[in-house]
Structure 1
Amino acid sequence: MPVKLIRPRRFGDDRGWFVETYNAGRYPELGVAVTFVQDNHSMSRDVGTLRGLHYQADPNGQDKLVRCVRGAIWDVAVDVRRGSPTFGQWVAAELTAENGHQLFVPIGFAHGFVTLLPDTEVEYKCSNLYAPQSEGGVIWNDPTVALPWPLPPEGPKLSPKDEILTALDEATTPFTYDGQPLEPLDA
């Protein structure tokens, strides 16, 4: 499955708006044909809080459907499938509470984001339960990936776990290429 940018339709009036953020009947038509079993919610106080780049190996691999419910993030998916012609390449999108966009990140991609506004909240659905023995990741500033993170001058705020992730060429990414190269997100 490819990485997908999803723009749920909002129905608004003078009271505000309504949006369906997930529908098991409709999302397969959008290319998101997975069953979600866990929802996560994070809050980051400071601009420049960087979470990632994370993945979870099979048999506990996780597809993720990410959205920002307060504030704004720069959300990124990096192809970590060995043998992929787009290995190490990435796509990114700005997800905000205002635009309501979602990023679908399939198994085989490292995922991360950086906050663009204070007190940002992110929610994401996962297709598998969290399994600490299966987690892995790639260091945020890997020069071969060369992500242009929109960071404040003082740099990112990282967790101790994220500070010690390895470079992509040193990571033991357990994913193999499935024949679907990474494609640009539709504009």
Structure 2
Amino acid sequence: MSELQLSELPLPGLFVLQHRVHQDERGRFARLYCEGSLQLFGQPFHVRQINQSLTRERGTVRGLHFQYPPHAESKLISCMRGAVWDVAVDVRQGSSTFLHWHAERLEAGDGRSLLLPPGFAHGFQALSDDAELLYLHSADYTPGHEGGLSVSDPRLAIDWPLPFKNLSARDAGHPLLDESFQGVQL
């Protein structure tokens, strides 16, 4: 196995990355990101920003966030501690999977990351206390270009594994989708 393997998920453009994890009596090592390898897979990804989050309480939900062009971004998400239910929602205008979602369980040490292309909203639910994520972004965060979806929107019908806890006021304030939402035109 090479250092990274990329597998496409049911939503076109969404991938799970499997990292080769080297373990011995000292601990473990894994390459989490390699720009050259992603280019070889046809998924160029240049890192502009790296973020880290710590979610203290199991059941907490964060998201669903995205950025509109010209600041639409790809994201590479890895779980560094604990476990999360990581959700991607296709908000690409004209996509055959528009408003469809896919979730992956990411767990510290599992050697997996989720790679989201531009035009996807992202959110997650902590499946453990003290869940820590590392996010690599292809664009800078630009507050004037951010968008969000309601995590409880019946039109999305996301199957969250736990009851919600600790939803921020900002995330709770995202409106339910109506016919005026046309998505992100890339």
Q: Does structure 2 conserve the Cα–Cα contact (< 8 Å) formed by 1:138 and 1:171?
A: no
How far apart, in 1, do the equivalents of 2:64 and 2:129 lie?
A: 20
1:163 maps to which residue?
Answer: 172
Pairing 1:90–2:75 present: no
CA distance in 1, matches of 2:72, 2:135: 15
Partner of 2:40: 29
Equivalent residue number for residue 44 of structure 1: 55
1:53 to 2:87 alignment? no
C-alpha deviation, 1:88, in angstroms: 1.0
Offset at residue 31 of structure 1 (A): 4.1
Superposed CA RMSD: 1.6
Distance change >3 Å, CA 107–CA 168, structure 1 → 2: farther
Alpha-carbon deviations, 1:44-84, whole Å to 9, x = none?
Answer: 10001111110011111111000110000000111111222
Residue identity opposite 1:21 in structure 2:
L
Mark the runs of 5 or more structure 1 residues left unpaired by the alignment.
Answer: 179-187
**In structure 2, how many angstroms separate the alpha carbons of the residues matched to 1:170 and 1:9?**
44
Structure 1 residue 32, shift from structure 2 partner: 2.9
* Aligned position for 1:183: none
What residue is the counterpart of 2:8 in the other structure?
none
Give the distance between the partners of 1:31 and 1:100, measured in 2 at CA: 21
Asked whether the 8 Å contact 1:66–1:103 carries over to 2, the reply is yes
Contact kept in structure 2, 1:2 and 1:106, CA below 8 Å: yes
* Unaligned residue ranges in structure 2 (runs of 5+): 1-11
Contact 1:58 1:134 in 2 (8 A): yes
Letter in 1 for 2:153: D
Check conservation: 1:32, 1:104, Cα contact below 8 A.
no
Partners of 1:136 and 1:129 lie apart in 2 by 14
1:172 deviates by 4.2
Specify the alignment match of 2:80 in structure 1. 69
How many residues of Structure 1 are paired with residues of Structure 2 in the alignment?
Answer: 175
1:173, 1:123 → 2: CA distance?
30
- Which TM-score applies when normalising by structure 2? 0.88
Contact 1:81 1:109 (C-alpha < 8 Å) held by counterparts: yes
2: CA distance between counterparts of 1:107 and 1:57?
Answer: 9
- Residue of structure 2 aligned with 1:126, choices 137, 142, 148: 137
Deviates more, 1:20-29 or 1:43-52: 20-29
> What is the rounded CA distance, in whole Å, between the counterparts of 2:184 and 2:64 in structure 1?
15
